[in-house]
Amino acid sequence: MDSLKEKTALITGASSGVGRAIALKLAGLGALVLLVARVPHKLEATASQIKAAGGSARTFAVDLTDDPALNHLTETVRKQLSRLDFLVHSAGLFRLAPVATATLQDFDALFRCNVRAPFALTQAFLSQLMAAKGAVAFINSTVGAVSHANVSQYAATKHALKAVADTLRLETSSHGLRVLNVMLGRTATPMQEEVCRLEGSVYDPTVLLQPDDVATAIVSALTLPASAEVTDLYLRPSRK
């Protein structure tokens, strides 16, 4: 199926979890996908799977908390491609600590990855996205709406990310840009496995949201007719 042929999507966090699943879905619909993540061999594995299925992918191994690397990414993409239809922010960092012992170093690292990088990438590609009347998806978390103990740093970044998404939508809707804020419950991803390890709880992926199901919902929202827009998408596991 080539419903997205001639369209381009940039996905961060594309080497695993939800980002990877979204990249596979978009590529399967014919889009050229630009895969961004930190670990080169994982990126190449995702790209190889896409190409083996007849899709098109390019990889960019980037640490989104590093400004020179981030700037190089945006400059390279703008030189290679004049069009960008979809920007999906799926990369993220997590730390577990109470306010009493949480470090400012971790606080800064989480904000750089979870908020600052999506803001910078959106800003860098905004003119192309508006020209294409495209869409931006911010992969958020339910802790961006209701926080919990010991996740103050992570929750703060997710509240901030929702504010960026909501403000961007108000500023750009008249230009035809659609902005999707995705509030995810617990999902079977490497990050969630790490969360469970830190919490001392059992990681059971069978009772969690599945990345492929999440990707199906997100891609469906992103590819609605231009007359419709999903602004906030809340997804939770059906098994409690």
Q: Please tell me the pTM assigned to this model.
A: 0.94
Torsion of CA 197, 198, 202, 205, to 10 degrees: -70
Q: Per-residue confidence of the chain (240 residues) as pLDDT tens digits? A: 578 999 999 999 999 999 999 999 999 999 999 999 999 999 999 999 999 999 999 999 999 999 999 999 999 999 999 899 999 999 999 999 999 999 999 999 999 999 999 999 999 999 999 999 999 999 999 988 888 899 999 999 999 999 999 999 999 999 999 999 999 988 888 888 888 888 888 888 888 889 999 999 999 999 999 899 999 999 999 876
Contact, 72 vs 79, CB < 8 A? no
Q: Is the dihedral of CA 224, 180, 16, 196 positive or negative?
A: negative
* 160, part of any domain: yes
CA nearest 117: which of 73, 75, 173, 169? 73
CATH number for the domain harbouring residue 29? 3.40.50.720
* 70, part of any domain: yes
* 2, part of any domain: no
* 1, part of any domain: no
Count of domains observed in the chain: 1
* 134, part of any domain: yes
Strand 32-37 and strand 56-61: pairing?
Answer: parallel
Phi/psi of residue 9, each to 5°? Answer: -130, 135
CA nearest 45: which of 65, 20, 12, 63? 20
Residue 152's CB is within 10 A of a number of other CB atoms, namely 19
* 21, part of any domain: yes
* 3, part of any domain: no
* 204, part of any domain: yes
Domain that holds residue 116: 8-235
